Structure 1
Amino acid sequence: MADGKRRQRDVDGGWGWVIVGCCFMVTVCTRAVTRCISIFFVEFQAEFGADYAATAWIHSLVDCTTMLCAPLGSLVGNRWSCRVSVMLGGLLSSVGLLLSSFSNSLELLYLTMGVLTGLGFALCYTPSIVMVGSYFLQRRALAYGVAMSGSGIGTFVLAPAVQLLIERYSWRGALLLLSAFVSNMCVCGALLRPITAQEQEEQEEEGEKPGLVSLPDAELTLRLREPEDGIKEFRFLLLPDFLCLAVSFLFLASGCSLPFVYLVPYALSAGVPHQQAAFLMSILGVLDIVGNVTFGWLTDRRCLKAYRLACYVLAVAMEGLCCLFVPLLRSFPLLVPFAVLYGYFDGAYVALIPVVTADLVGAPYLSSALGVVYFLHAIPFLLSPPVGGWLVDVTGSYTPTFFLSGAALLTSAVVISAITGIHRCRRHLKASKHNPRPLCLPDQSQRSISSARAT
């Protein structure tokens, strides 16, 4: 009985909050560190004599590899355990940053920081998010909001810290210290206790046949699968709603990373001092936290649960509008409101991605679905920063780059809104066909019609 009560406390609480803390730390070490790579751009350009487009490939490769290999993280988590995946990923990413600190060419940075570190991030990111979904049912959006706020808090703390480390120890020393910091993901991975293993142990103690039949459907995220179930794991790919969401994600990924890559260089070109330019990233991080937690809490309310997708579309559209106004902001006081609004809505949509995906495909498919979702981010993350840098090199202005970002984000919001509206109209039409209005009229109406015809 006591074990049963403890198990109930672990769902939507108990050890579940430890899982949230681990996912929070993994998000700090992956997404926040990736955002702070742009702070190294000026140093890399001075060290290797590279232009914006060539330097931007580093950030692109980290993001692209992280998202491109997201299904690999799901595969390792499903076949072995999320614990193994996160610990292995923490080791690889730490080694990648360590080797980067000794790089003597931009091409070597592409390999060590771009590919190796990105692969480690991929093995950590998706499995840690999936673990949160397996421990939280009723308060899932809030749990994801807290866990994903690590991106914002990490950016707020790391952006000025990285700038200070670069000034004091050079960019090589800063990367060396970041390598030690990222290795903490190995500790986080060790704390990711699989809920299915716990269930099996309790069932064996009670003399029951081990299995997952007794688990509710929503808790089957980390269920054991038979070998022939491999194809069935991706059955959700045939859902029209998921395909619409996938198209929207392609446009989203094409625009969302550009402000994080080019905000600091743009601020420096506008005459903003280095510390204030780095502080803009901190502001982005703080408001990212607020967006994570507040949107997570609000969309868990009963009145908004049915409108989670609408809240997601609103957040993406507002990000796009913010980017269109950046070329008008040429000073630190004017750039602060942009950082506030963009950071808030960025945190909002990031927290809602796993929630909206889970609502769409169901918890049993969440691990595989998130792997596909983040995989869709890979190519846009790879191409958009170099394209943005090429636009800067060709035009000598950051205006086309931010316009590209805004247009992509607004297109993402329009696509998901339009296709969702079409699907709703089709559902209403089908419902009206299955439930047509009765053809038989009341007796009084029949008599009035008959009398009218007789006259």
Structure 2
Amino acid sequence: MAKDEKKNVDIPKIEIEFTPRFGSNVDTSRPARKGPQEEEFVPPDGGWGWVVCITSLLTNGTAFSILNTFGIIYVYLIKEYAQGDPDISFKTSWVGSVCTGITFLICIFASISSDRIGIRPTAFFGAALGAVGLISSAFITKLELLYLTYGILLGIGGGFVYSPSLVILGHYFKRHMGIVNGIVAFGSSMYTIILSIVLPIILESLGIKYTFLILGGMYCMLLVCTLTWKPLFHRENNIPDLALSKESIVEHFDDCCSWTKKYLNVGLFKNRAYLFWFLGLSTSLFGYFVPFVHLVKHSQDVFPSSNAFILITCMQVTSGVGRLVFGKIADFQFVNRVYMQQCAFVVMGIVTACIPFSASFEGLIAICLILGICDGVFVCLLGPIAFDIVGPMEASQAIGFMLGGFSLPLTVGPPIAGLLYDKLHSYEVAFVAAGVPPILGAIVMCFIPRVKQSYPAVTETQTFASISMLDVHLASSSRSAQLNQLNQQNGINGHPGTTSELEVVRIVELLDPADQEDGKLLDSQNNDIKHRLRSASKSSNEDGQSEKDSDSLLDKENVS
């Protein structure tokens, strides 16, 4: 307390029981802090967690590398199923678009399933369904059936395996979450780069059938990866284990429905900033995926002697670099994250419209490098902006709604471009039209009011990981209950609800044994508590003594 006295700041103390980290050499004979909870969950931040990190990387890489390289498969699908069909580009575009759209749409429901049913069962089901979709696609002789196998089955499987791969990270990491986010994000991009190089070789030498079988084998490997995702805490309830009985199934179904209704908070759209951000991004994505699908075909038409497949590789290289670099830039306080994302969409729209006017293949490479950077900026800012706009209480729901909103524009955009190509036999109008939505989306985002930004930026991985903390919020809810009781005694408005799932990840930090003697707490936690008490005191028009009383009451409560 000597440091606190020097700063003339009264910092309330919260008594939190310490539980040693898994695998740590902590002397448990030392008296632990006494708190309202008998046991507190602490992620190990290492050990088996690094295996989970690697398998999460492989899962993300497999799921999204197949989505991002569909432009390569698209060319060979046209060759395989064309047969003089004048609308072949339009019909083939639907295969990849349906898969991408369903993957994003399923993400929110996969997160709910991970929490209510389990991470490993959800992910295993997704990996199995994706493998079935790809393997069955190898034996399809009619293009329209690929909508079912490659589009729907693979799309659902990808969504159900992707979300748990991020949710499980919340079980194993807390302090190292930033490092883990970088590994997963950049590693996934590297995975796509490798596949974009290898996939044309496989397609050229083995054909589309065996390519689908190989990709199906990659999804079968994910079955093993999902088995490594052992949850470190479990949701406690009175619902019996799922069994082949009517009562058990009905109870589980009712539980999922009630929790889903609570989780899908449509009240988010009453937030003006979130509403315009949602509309702006959804508008932008009508043209976002068009280059990923049609750029390779356009390059083969205009520059037939060039290696068009390298364009996908170029986009993924700069996308991975952009996620890391601009993710760090977003932490500078002078940077406005919404403006940064707007600039990325404006640049993306301009360069997409310039694609048909490139006079050389090198020009297309330069355009792809810029598109990759814009993609990296867009992706790395999803988590930070969601947290800034809606706060920690609803950030995971905001991301879920956003991903679901992406499904429609990502599904519709590429087929429209394919239809224009079928009718005009040129991608000139298609790419120019695809460049308009990102610019319009950036204009819509101008209506987002200025919001206070949080530092450091919250990543998308952290936001997904926070979903897994919904059932361990009791570890920190004692603090909220304690504050409510003190506020009521002090005659001020109570703290609404319990601590949110994302606050468990970002705000509530447990004490190490070395810190027990000093009684130190994380500054953000102390500031959060003091800010709530002071704000409530001012709103009730009480004098300055009220704030000091709140601090002293908090100290007395912890001593008792």
TM-score bracket, normalised by the shorter chain, equals 0.7 to 0.9
Q: Which residue number in structure 2 is paired with residue 351 of structure 1?
A: 380
2:379 counterpart of 1:342: no
Instruction: State the partner residue of 1:252.
Output: 284
Tell me the residue number matched to 1:439: none
2: distance between equivalents of 1:313 and 1:135? 34
Alignment match, 2:416:
387
Q: Which amino acid aligns with 2:367?
A: F
Partner of 1:269: 301
> 1:112-191 to 2 correspondence within 5 Å?
112-132=149-169, 143-191=180-228
2-structure distance, mates of 1:328, 1:264: 15
Higher helix residue share = 1
Tell me the secondary structure at the aligned position of residue 121 of structure 1. Answer: helix
Letter of the structure 2 residue corresponding to residue 233 of structure 1 = Y
Matches within 5 A, 1:344-423: 344-363=373-392, 365-420=394-449
Aligned AA for 1:327? P
> Where do 1:262-301 residues align within 5 Å?
262-273=294-305, 276-299=307-330, 301=331
TM-score by length of 2: 0.65
CA distance in 1, matches of 2:169, 2:43: 14
Match of 1:233 in 2: 263
CA distance in 2, matches of 1:82, 1:368: 18
The question of whether the paired residues in 2 share the 8 Å contact of 1:60 and 1:386 is answered with: yes
Question: Are 2:346 and 2:439, in contact at CA under 8 Å, matched by a contact in 1?
Answer: yes
Q: Which residue of 1 aligns with 2:114?
A: 77
How far residue 364 of structure 1 moved from its aligned partner, in angstroms, is 5.2
Using the TM superposition, name which of 110-119 and 69-78 deviates more: 69-78
**Take 1:395 and 1:374, find their aligned partners in 2: how far apart are those partners?**
33
* Equivalent position amino acid for 2:435 in 1: G
Once residues 310 and 136 of structure 1 are traced to their aligned partners in structure 2, the CA distance between those partners, rounded to angstroms, is: 31
**2:229 counterpart (181, 187, 192):** 192
User: AA paired with 2:56?
Assistant: C
SS in 2 for 1:333: helix
| Residue 43 in structure 1 maps to residue 76 in structure 2 | yes
Q: Give the Å deviation of 1:234.
A: 2.8
Query: What is the match of residue 24 of structure 1?
Result: 57
Q: Whole-Å Cα distance in 1 between the matches of residues 168 and 108 of structure 2?
A: 15
For residue 234 of structure 1, what is the amino acid of its counterpart? Answer: L
CA distance in structure 2 between the partners assigned to 1:413 and 1:21 by the alignment: 36
Q: 1:226 to 1:45 in 2, by over 3 A?
A: closer
Partner of 1:308: 337
How far apart in 2 are the matches of 1:125 and 1:366?
A: 18
- In the other structure, the counterpart of 1:97 is 134
Counterpart position of 1:220? none
Cα distance in 1, alignment partners of residues 397 and 121 from structure 2: 17
Deviation at 1:383, TM superposition (A): 1.2
Q: Structure 1 pair 331/10, CA: closer, same or farther in 2 (3 Å)? A: farther
- Give 1:337 shift: 0.7
Q: Where does structure 2 lack aligned partners over 5 or more consecutive residues?
A: 1-17, 25-40, 237-254, 453-537, 540-560
Go from structure 1 to structure 2 and tell me whether the alpha carbon gap of 1:18 and 1:373 turns closer, same or farther (over 3 Å shift): farther
8 Å contact kept, 1:26–1:128: yes
Distance change >3 Å, CA 118–CA 296, structure 1 → 2: same
Give the letter aligned to residue 298 of structure 1.
I
Task: Return the alpha-carbon distance in structure 2 between the equivalents of residues 77 and 367 of structure 1.
Answer: 14
Tell me how far apart the structure 1 counterparts of residues 390 and 314 of structure 2 sit (CA, whole Å). 34
User: 1:125 deviation in Å?
Assistant: 1.9
Cα shift readout 1:52-110 (whole Å, capped 9, x = no counterpart): 11111101111121122222212211212233222211111011100001111101111
Equivalent in 37, 58, 61 of residue 98 of structure 2: 61
Displacement of 1:348: 2.2
AA in 2 matched with 1:116: L
2:350 alignment counterpart: 321
**Distance change >3 Å, CA 184–CA 355, structure 1 → 2:** farther
Q: Name the structure 2 match of 1:218.
A: none
| Equivalent residues of 1:152, 1:289 under 8 A apart | yes
Query: Aligned equivalents of 2:405 and 2:207: distance in 1?
Result: 35
Equivalent-residue separation in structure 2 for 1:15 and 1:367 (angstroms): 26
Give the superposition deviation at 1:38.
1.9
Cα pair 1:249 1:412 within 8 Å, conserved: yes
In structure 2, do the counterparts of structure 1 residues 368 and 188 end up closer, same or farther at CA, with 3 Å as the change threshold?
farther
The Cα RMSD (Å) is 2.9
Write out per-residue CA displacement over residues 5-48 of structure 1, whole angstroms, 9 at most, x where no aligned residue: 7576735x666554443332222111210122221223222222
For CA contacts below 8 A with separation 6 or more, give which structure has more relative contact order. Answer: 1
1:284 CA displacement: 1.1
SS at match of 1:277: coil
Structure 1 unaligned spans of 5+ = 201-224, 425-433, 436-455
Cα separation, 1, equivalents of 2:115 and 2:264: 13
Change over 3 Å in CA distance of 1:352–1:20 after alignment to 2: farther
Question: CA shift at 1:369, angstroms?
Answer: 3.2
Q: Which amino acid aligns with 2:197?
A: P
Deviation at 1:332, TM superposition (A): 1.8
Size of the aligned set, in residue pairs, is: 396
Residue equivalent to 1:204 = none
Question: 1:293 corresponds to which letter in structure 2?
Answer: L
Could you tell me which amino acid in structure 2 is paired with residue 32 of structure 1?
S
Q: 2:43, 2:171 within 8 Å by CA — same for their partners in 1?
A: no
1:371-423: CA deviation from partner (whole Å, max 9, x where unpaired): 321111111122111101111122222122212222111122221233335x8
Kept in 2, the 8 Å contact 1:100–1:112? The answer is yes
Contact 2:21 2:44 in 1 (8 A): no
Q: 1:136 Cα shift?
A: 5.7
SS at match of 2:432: helix
> Is the CA contact 1:254–1:408 (under 8 Å) kept in the aligned structure 2?
yes
